[in-house]
Amino acid sequence: MTIQATEIELDRGPGDRGVERMCVATRTVRPVADLIRFVIGPDGEAVPDLKHRLPGRGVWVTATHDALEDAIKRKAFGRGFKRDVRLPADLVARTEQLLTRSALEALAIAGKASLVVAGFAKVEAALGHEDVVALLHAAEAAADGVRKLDSALRRGPHSDSVSVTRILTAAQLDLALGRPNVIHAALLAGPSSATVLARLQRLERFRSGDLGQKAAGAAPN
């Protein structure tokens, strides 16, 4: 059920997700995919609930670095929860770390299912023959290697539908895939690929602030 902009910001628990929720900071209504749920932990501290499973009532914040910082500055958590809330000094950084870990976990699962090809030559070959859904360059990848693989992608059969990202570092790719010196990787189509893409895109949106769509509506002040 879609909520209306005039409804309260505080949900009724992890099962009360709906299709859209109101951002406690901007007071705009957005799809839940564009938001992060926060609950109050046992110690009275705000905790990000990325999977919408933690117990207790929650408030929702637009899933960008700037929106979360704004929620903290505006004391929106206290207003949304209607009580004093302890906010850790590193809440923004902690939230980004959780988003990163979530993406790495999904990539690791895809890797174990043989849905990730790593190494320049193997990735280049995959772009011409395999059903690739994403091309992953390490954040510190050399420009020449990136250019050559991007060119190979454009020559391939699925160039229009392949996502390209440089959101992860080489060390993070190494960790997720359980092998050293991963600079370039290709994600192949498979049962877990959509989850990898969704989590990488969510992390990228958090950092860039580009949600790619407008809010459904704004609530009155």
φ/ψ of residue 172, rounded to 5:
-70, -40
**Rounded to an integer, what distance in angstroms lies between the CA atom of residue 56 and that of residue 199?**
24
Question: Same structural domain for residues 125 and 84?
Answer: no
Residue 59 belongs to a domain with what CATH number? 3.30.1230.10
Residues with Cβ < 8 Å from 73, sequence gap 6 or more?
A: none
Centre a 10 Å sphere on the Cβ of residue 145 and count the other Cβ atoms it contains: 16
203, 33 contact by CB (below 8 A): no
Of 34, 62, 88, which closes a domain? Answer: 88
Of 60, 88, 116, which closes a domain? Answer: 88
Give, for 29, the enclosing helix (H) or strand (E). strand 28-31
Question: Same structural domain for residues 137 and 79?
Answer: no
Give, for 174, the enclosing helix (H) or strand (E). helix 170-177
What is the predicted pLDDT for the residue at 109? Answer: 98
Domain that holds residue 43: 1-88
Question: Same structural domain for residues 186 and 160?
Answer: yes
What is the predicted pLDDT for the residue at 54? Answer: 96
Average pLDDT per 10 consecutive residues for the chain, totaling 221 residues: 54 90 93 96 96 95 97 95 95 98 98 97 93 96 97 86 96 97 97 97 95 49 35
What is the predicted pLDDT for the residue at 36? Answer: 97
Q: What is the pTM of this model?
A: 0.89
Buried b (16+ CB within 10 A) or exposed e, 117-143: bbbeeebbebbeebebbbbbbbeebee
Contacts 24+ apart (CB under 8 A), 70-73: 70/25, 70/26, 71/23, 71/24, 71/25
Please state the separation of Cα 90 from the chain's center in Å. 18
**Rounded to an integer, what distance in angstroms lies between the CA atom of residue 88 and that of residue 95?**
11
What is the predicted pLDDT for the residue at 17? Answer: 82
